[in-house]
Amino acid sequence: MFLPYAVLFVFGLLIGSFLNVCIYRIPKGKSIVSPPSSCPKCNSQIKPIHNIPVLSYILLRGRCNFCGAKISPIYPAIELLNAVAYVMVAAKFGFNGQSALIMALMSVFIVVTFIDLEHKIIPDGITLPGIALGLLLGPLVLKISFVNSLLGVIVGGGLFFLIAVFSRGGMGGGDIKLIAMMGGFIGWKGVLLTIFLGSVFGASVGIGLMAIKGMHRKTPIPFGPFLVAGAVVAIFWGGSFLEWYGGLHY
């Protein structure tokens, strides 16, 4: 049973390398397929041999081969994170179509998280197609009913829309579309659990930051990463939280 996981891990690293390209380019409105990656400092095109996930970073000691500019350790960290996520999904849900879709979701979550942390936005180019895909693939692959999938979109998006209206700017439009997208995949119970967990995580970190850094209560913290954390917990362990049966068949 070791080999399939090893292959999956390497596959996860390679996709993780592509996620880095997405995180870097999508907020800038650039194509994610061309041109090939280049050093942001000296613009030298990165050779395939210097583009091996994690390994190249270690061999080049975290520097550009041409100009010596420091490469952020976030790049190999994202590759590792994606690979670990894939292995965890396979360990939990097996090697099947459901797992493949959940892995794709995890990759989307990683991209959303790091774009939101860096730019404080969640691109519509990800969430709007994501809502449509959730309504299609939630029922088709994850085997929730279409009504449940639709309710997930409406309950998640609707709740956040109301919060946005009443909090006057406390909730961004990107968060509304993100939670609606999640709802399409995990249904209305999953979306409520995600909101609950995301709020608990967000409040905990917010209180922690206020205590440590003396941050002002109004200092905006991107909410997307907390929703992602909530959704990941809901997907992996939601069944036992809400006494759903049969893994994802809630």
Peptide bond into 76 cis (omega under 30): no
Query: What mask of x and - would describe binding to Zn ion in positions 161 to 200, judged by CB under 5 A?
Result: ----------------------------------------
Long-range contact pairs involving 36-39 (C-beta distance under 8 Å, separation at least 24): 39/64, 39/66, 39/67, 39/69
Of 37-45, 125-133, 155-163, 187-195, the segment contacting Zn ion by CB under 5 A is 37-45
**Total residues at the site for Zn ion (CB under 5 A)?**
7
- Enumerate residues 65-84 that contact Zn ion by CB under 5 A: 66-67, 69
Distance separating the N- and C-terminal Cα atoms of the chain: 29
Q: At what angle do helices 173-213 and 146-167 cross, to 10 degrees?
A: 60
Q: Does the footprint of Zn ion cover residue 210 (CB under 5 A)?
A: no
Q: Does the footprint of Zn ion cover residue 64 (CB under 5 A)?
A: yes
Q: Does the footprint of Zn ion cover residue 46 (CB under 5 A)?
A: no
Structure tokens at 226: 């907390």
CA–CA distances in Å: residue 152 to residues 145, 155, 182: 11, 5, 8
- C-beta of 64 vs 178, nearer to Zn ion: 64
Q: Does the footprint of Zn ion cover residue 41 (CB under 5 A)?
A: yes
The footprint of Zn ion (CB under 5 A) covers 39, 41-42, 64, 66-67, 69
